[in-house]
Each structure stands twice: as C-alpha cells, then as structure tokens.
C-alpha cells in the first residue's frame, strides 16, 4: 500500500465517526501521492503522518441564558491545526450540524488554502452547534459573550485569529470582538471580518464571492474565454453567494439560481442588481426565507427541498458555469452528472468541500474545469490576511487597493495551481495542483523546524 493510502486508512481508524474529516484527508492525500517520490526529505521527517494531526483541539462547554431566563448549553470548538507559516487562521461556524469532525475537516483544508494565498497564515477552525436562526439579538449577544469567555484564553493577534463563516456574520463578530476587547483590555486584530469603524477591511464581506468569480475568470482565460454572457448556477444566499452574484453581474454574466436550506429559486430572466438587493435585504436585514423572492418576482420558480429526491434540482438547469456557495457535500454524483449534461464546463467552489468524491470524479472524467474550494474560495481568508496587516500597521487601504490585491492573489493562486498541475504532468488538474502547491510550502517549513 502506498504511504498516502496508509495515512488515509490510519486516519479513519484513529478518528472514528468523523466522515467529513476522512473525506478531506482522502482528497488531499490522493493528490499528494506523487510528492512522496519527489520529496524523500518529507517522508524522512514524517510530514505525511504529522500533517493530518492537528496541533491541538480545544473542546469547551458554552452555557448561556435565553430570553426566558432558561440556561442553554452548547458545545464550543477550536482546532488549531498547523501554525508552520503563520498564526492559526480560520473561521468560526455556528450551525446545529457542527461537530468535531466538521471542524477538523475545515481546519485541515484551511492549512493548504492559507498557504496558497501567499500570505503568512497557518490553519485553524472553530465553532459551535449554536443555531443563530430564530434567536433574538440579545440571545445572540449573550451566546457570543459566553463563547468568548472561554475562547479568549486560546487566541491572540499573533497566536490564532478567527473570523466568520456559516452563521457568523458582522453582527456576531461585533459581539465577539467587543467582549474580547473587554476581557483583555486591548484593541488588536484578533478577529477578522470586523466592522469598518473598528478595524475591519474594506472588501472583506465581498472577498470570498468576488474571489471565486475571479478564479473562474482565470480558469476560463486558459481557454481564451470570459464570463461575459455566461449563465451561472449559484447555490446559497448568504455572504459568499451574494457577492459571487454581484461580481458575476459586474463581469456581464447572468446568475439564475439561489438557495437556502429550505429550497431554491430559478429565475430564468436572471437575478439582476435590483433582485440581488432584494436578496441582500431579505437575508442580511430581515433574516427571512428565500421563498419570498418567488412571491415578489413572477419570473422565478421556487422549489422546496425534497430530502427523498436524492439530488438537488438546482444543479439541473442549462448553464455554463456553477458556483456552489452553500455548504459541504451539496453536489453528489447525480448532481455532478446533471451539471455535465446541462453544459456546465466550469465549476468554482465558493463553499468548502461542496462536492462529494464521486461528484469530483464525474467532473474530472468529463474534462470539466473544476476549481476546488481551497483554491477558489481563498479570497475570503486572503482579505482576512490583509485585514491583519492593516491592523498591525494601524492603517487602512482603500476599496480599490484591497480589491486589486485580492484580484492579484486569486490570479497567483490560479497560476500556482495550474503550473503545479503542469509540472506534475496533469495540466488543468486543479485539485492535484492546488493541494501539492499548498502542501509543499508548509511541508518545507516543517522540515526546517525539525521534529516539533
């Protein structure tokens, strides 16, 4: 058995019931197989065994009081995965599905993603099974404060810098940062995604969605194509999906779908700027359900989620490009086949690990340009890195400066992934190229440090 396969098997045995984590390790390790022969120094230093094991995983109890005065208890997690190239960096996710396996998969992915950004950031991830949906602002505040009461002792601007993800937006970051500041009596860049008034970076809210579209544009550029006039399927209606749609409109493409966990809308006429503004208000201000979109716009059809269907009909519409931007494993084998059958030739993943391994192999065997999440959605963490730099400098760059740095970073991520795929004899195999490029930098650093 090859070394990388041995590692996969060991991870499965040693970390039972962590399916998403196994999936992420399998995906990365399969790509890394050709590096084993090329880098005997990595094997000698035990890098393959060490890279799958987090530096530490912190689990804690988060007790908080709801509006009725009842005590609720949530699980809290922070997995500090690898800080070889910089402080641990990666988000907090608040969603009822959060468990240790999900946080470990996200943290593991983050190590390679952050390495690809060219910025000095290690990888980590955290979160809670708390569900902000249906909670009052006061409840969310009390929960965030309770969460930070434990987390503050493990993080710091040079140690570990969290940010937002599913269920953690500007409101939550404000509560978390305000309480950290109170506990530590210091105003530093300990969290990113902050409000502009208290150290946030311009373009951070837009960065992941914009970056995924810039990445798609780079993939198309290899084939001498652009996004102009292309029809796009987008899933999700949160932070990433909203700004992916905005940048698609800027570049002349037509987004036709959007979804939330209850269902999706298909708007053949296209989601234009006015309709996008409606989605942003609905989701960010009124915190409502996407079904309202179809009540307001007669050009749209709403389809509720049918858990017995075995596929997501959102991916079964004619289009050219697709931006999965909701959550993990939202494209299975059937969905991938539907995308291929409907003429989609380019996928740029805004979400983390939205495609199952079976789905990925359908894309690869059909020659689809497949931009995996850790390359395509790295724009968010990249601008988080720029926010950290601005906080250290106590300075702010303009919107244009940040956007142009983001664009440059997405181009260089694409270049690194593409050129590595060429160097390893598989031009256009983005999973291979991105995983190897991200890994190599971290592995070299680990070798330099010795056995620590």
Cβ 275 to ligand 2IT, closest distance in Å?
A: 26
The two tokens of residue 61 are 């109890």
Cα-based distances in Å from 445 to 31, 54, 108, 374, 421: 20, 16, 17, 20, 22
Judged on CB neighbours under 10 Å (0-12, 13-18, 19+), 289 is: middle
Asked if residue 387 binds ligand NDP (CB under 6 A), the reply is no
The two tokens of residue 358 are 């079976």
Q: 25, 58, 141, 163: which one contacts ligand 2IT (CB under 6 A)?
A: 163
What gap in Å lies between CA 392 and CA 107, rounded to an integer?
Answer: 24
Residue of 113, 125, 230, 247 marked active site: 125
Asked if residue 332 binds ligand NDP (CB under 6 A), the reply is no
C-beta of 237 vs 435, nearer to ligand NDP: 237
275 is an active site residue: no
Asked if residue 90 binds ligand 2IT (CB under 6 A), the reply is yes
Candidates 33-41, 163-171, 359-367, 398-406; binding stretch for ligand NDP (CB under 6 A)? 163-171
Cβ 172 to ligand 2IT, closest distance in Å?
A: 13
Exposure string for 72-82, b = 16+ CB within 10 A, e = fewer: eebbbbbbbbb
Residues 17-76 that bind ligand NDP (CB under 6 A): none
Judged on CB neighbours under 10 Å (0-12, 13-18, 19+), 452 is: exposed
Q: 91, 103, 220, 331: which one contacts ligand 2IT (CB under 6 A)?
A: 91
Candidates 7-15, 54-62, 258-266, 419-427; binding stretch for ligand NDP (CB under 6 A)? 258-266
Closest CA to 57 of 111, 20, 107: 107
What gap in Å lies between CA 384 and CA 382, rounded to an integer?
Answer: 5
Q: 148, 173, 240, 406: which one contacts ligand NDP (CB under 6 A)?
A: 240
The two tokens of residue 86 are 């910089």
Q: 167, 174, 371, 428: which one contacts ligand NDP (CB under 6 A)?
A: 167
What gap in Å lies between CA 113 and CA 426, rounded to an integer?
Answer: 20
Asked if residue 111 binds ligand NDP (CB under 6 A), the reply is no
Residues 352-381 that bind ligand 2IT (CB under 6 A): 352, 380-381
Number of residues that bind ligand 2IT (CB under 6 A): 12
What gap in Å lies between CA 52 and CA 57, rounded to an integer?
Answer: 13
Can you list the alpha helix ranges (DSSP code H) found in 377-423? 379-393, 399-423
Candidates 86-94, 175-183, 223-231, 401-409; binding stretch for ligand 2IT (CB under 6 A)? 86-94
Tell me which of ligand NDP, ligand 2IT, none is bound by residue 90, counting a contact when its beta carbon lies within the kind-specific cut-off of 5 to 8 angstroms. Answer: ligand 2IT
Q: 237, 356, 390, 435: which one contacts ligand NDP (CB under 6 A)?
A: 237
Q: What is the CA radius of gyration of the chain?
A: 21
Closest CA to 442 of 111, 11, 33, 36: 111
Q: 261, 341, 361, 365: which one contacts ligand NDP (CB under 6 A)?
A: 261
Q: 22, 39, 78, 89: which one contacts ligand 2IT (CB under 6 A)?
A: 89
What gap in Å lies between CA 430 and CA 375, rounded to an integer?
Answer: 8
What gap in Å lies between CA 325 and CA 243, rounded to an integer?
Answer: 10
C-beta of 125 vs 345, nearer to ligand 2IT: 125
Q: Is 254 helix (H, G, I), strand (E, B) or coil?
A: strand
Instruction: Tell me the residue nearest to ligand NDP as measured from the CB.
Output: 238
Cα-based distances in Å from 344 to 208, 305, 322: 21, 22, 7
C-beta of 162 vs 359, nearer to ligand 2IT: 162
Tell me which of ligand NDP, ligand 2IT, none is bound by residue 236, counting a contact when its beta carbon lies within the kind-specific cut-off of 5 to 8 angstroms. Answer: ligand NDP
Cβ 156 to ligand NDP, closest distance in Å?
A: 21
In the block, tokens 């004619």 appear at: 318
Tell me which of ligand NDP, ligand 2IT, none is bound by residue 167, counting a contact when its beta carbon lies within the kind-specific cut-off of 5 to 8 angstroms. Answer: ligand NDP
What gap in Å lies between CA 247 and CA 292, rounded to an integer?
Answer: 23
The beta-strand segments (E) located in 296-432 are 300-304, 321-323, 346-348, 369-371
Cβ 451 to ligand NDP, closest distance in Å?
A: 32
Q: 86, 123, 189, 350: which one contacts ligand NDP (CB under 6 A)?
A: 350
C-beta of 76 vs 164, nearer to ligand 2IT: 164
C-beta of 256 vs 382, nearer to ligand 2IT: 382
What lies within 8 Å, CB to CB, of 286 at 6+ separation is none
Say if residues 81 and 105 touch (Cβ distance below 8 Å). no
Which residues are marked as active site?
Answer: 125
Residues that bind ligand NDP (CB under 6 A): 97, 164-167, 208, 236-240, 260-262, 325-327, 350-352, 377, 380
Residue numbers at the binding site for ligand 2IT (CB under 6 A):
89-91, 110, 113, 163, 165, 192, 352, 380-381, 384
């Amino acid at each position: 058995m090859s070394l990388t396969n041995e590692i996969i098997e060991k991870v499965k045995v040693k970390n039972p019931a962590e399916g998403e984590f196994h999936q992420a390790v399998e995906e990365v390790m399969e790509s890394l197989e050709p590096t084993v022969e090329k880098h005997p120094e990595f094997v000698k230093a035990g890098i393959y065994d060490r890279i799958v094991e987090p530096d530490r995983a912190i689990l804690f109890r988060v007790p908080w009081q709801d509006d009725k005065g009842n005590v609720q208890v949530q699980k809290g997690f922070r997995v500090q995965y690898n800080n070889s190239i910089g402080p641990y960096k990666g988000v907090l996710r608040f969603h009822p599905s959060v468990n240790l396996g999900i946080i470990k998969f996200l943290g593991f992915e983050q190590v390679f993603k952050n390495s690809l950004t060219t910025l000095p950031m290690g990888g980590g991830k955290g979160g809670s099974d708390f569900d902000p949906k249906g909670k009052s602002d006061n409840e969310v505040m009390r929960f965030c404060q309770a969460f930070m009461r434990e987390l503050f002792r493990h993080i710091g601007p040079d140690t570990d810098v969290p940010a937002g993800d599913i269920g953690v937006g500007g409101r939550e970051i404000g509560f978390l940062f305000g309480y950290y500041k109170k506990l530590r009596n210091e105003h530093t860049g300990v969290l990113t995604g902050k409000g502009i008034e208290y150290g946030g970076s311009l373009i951070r809210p837009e960065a992941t969605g914009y970056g995924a579209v810039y990445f798609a544009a780079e993939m198309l550029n290899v084939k001498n194509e652009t996004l102009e006039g292309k029809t796009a399927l987008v899933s999700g209606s949160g932070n990433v999906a909203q700004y992916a749609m905005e940048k698609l409109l800027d570049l002349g493409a037509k987004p036709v779908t959007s979804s939330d966990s209850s269902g999706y809308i298909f708007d053949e006429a296209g989601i234009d700027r006015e309709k996008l503004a409606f989605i942003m208000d609905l989701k960010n201000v009124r915190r409502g359900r996407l079904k309202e979109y179809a009540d307001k716009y007669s050009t749209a059809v709403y389809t509720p989620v049918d858990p017995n269907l075995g596929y997501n009909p959102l991916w079964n519409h004619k289009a050219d490009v697709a931006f999965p931007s909701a959550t993990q494993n939202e494209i299975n084998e059937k969905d991938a086949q539907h995308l291929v059958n409907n003429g989609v030739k380019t996928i740029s993943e805004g979400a983390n690990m939205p495609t199952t391994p079976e789905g990925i192999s359908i894309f690869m065997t059909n020659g689809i340009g497949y931009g995996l999440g850790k390359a395509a959605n790295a724009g968010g963490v990249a601008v988080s890195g720029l926010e950290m730099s601005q906080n250290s400098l106590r300075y702010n760059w303009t919107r244009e400066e940040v956007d142009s740095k983001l664009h440059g970073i997405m181009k260089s991520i694409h270049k690194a992934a593409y050129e590595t795929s060429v160097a390893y004899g598989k031009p256009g195999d983005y999973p291979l190229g991105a995983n190897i490029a991200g890994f190599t930098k971290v592995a070299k650093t680990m070798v330099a440090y010795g056995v620590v």
